[in-house]
Amino acid sequence: MIKPCKYKPCSKNFEGRPNKLFCSPKCKKLHEISLRGKPEKKKRRGSAVMLTGDIKKPPLLDGYASVFWDKTAPVLIARGHLNILSEDAFAELCDLVARLRDINAAINESGRSLLQGGEKASEKTENKADAKPEERADVEIGVLKESALSDLKRKYSNLLLVYCKQFYLTPLSNRGNFDIPEGKEKDPLEEFLRGKNEK
């Protein structure tokens, strides 16, 4: 059977068995050496460049939500946690941060407790056999319930934590992601104390 040598620079036609790929052992060796070079990286469909290419702040974000986007989005894009598929969820996170800030401001301005007095319940002790006559009177017990602002704050806080975990914005998930150089900077206070001890 006549076929070309598999080593491309040679490509000489030779006669041999069907499973023989090279015209000589030298061509086989040269082909193996050429394969040892740096392998080409295969491009994946939907590369990160495509996903992070056109992320823009939504025009509906205003106030502190817009400030939070401007502060946080560049870091998340650089880390690969924010792309065009997750930008709507991140806009929702920015909106939640702004709403929670407004609720905290309203709570602080009102100066009221997060608990409010509700309906009073009366408890009768007349049916108790050992109760003294003074204790048999109706006793009013005040019932405390959560205020509307406190309820909103609790719900928004829980939802905000869920979103923050998804975008790696919690302290635990941030550990090791800061690209801080390993060289430790000298602390001026430490140098000052070391100088005092030497005297």
What's the average pLDDT block by block, 10 residues per block, for the chain (199 residues)?
80 80 84 68 52 78 91 88 90 93 88 62 50 53 71 89 89 64 56 61
Judging by DSSP bridges, how do beta strands 13-15 and 139-146 pair with one another? unpaired
Q: What is the pLDDT of residue 91?
A: 93
> Do 17 and 58 fall into the same domain?
no
> Do 159 and 104 fall into the same domain?
yes
Task: Please give the single-letter amino acid code of residue 60.
Answer: L
152 inside domain:
yes
Helices (H), 80-137: 87-110
**Which residue segment(s) compose the domain that 14 sits in?**
2-35
Instruction: Kindly report the pTM of this predicted structure.
Output: 0.51
CB 159 within 8 A of CB 96: yes
Q: What is the pLDDT of residue 143?
A: 67
128 inside domain:
no
CB 85 within 8 A of CB 51: yes
Distance CA 5, CA 175 (A): 55
Q: What is the pLDDT of residue 69?
A: 93
> Do 106 and 154 fall into the same domain?
yes
Q: At what angle do helices 148-166 and 87-110 cross, to 10 degrees?
A: 150
133 inside domain:
no
CB 106 within 8 A of CB 169: no
Q: What is the pLDDT of residue 13?
A: 84
Distance CA 125, CA 174 (A): 57
| Of 43, 138, 157, the residue nearest 99 (C-alpha) | 157
- The total number of structural domains in the chain stands at 2
| Of 118, 120, 70, 124, the residue nearest 97 (C-alpha) | 70
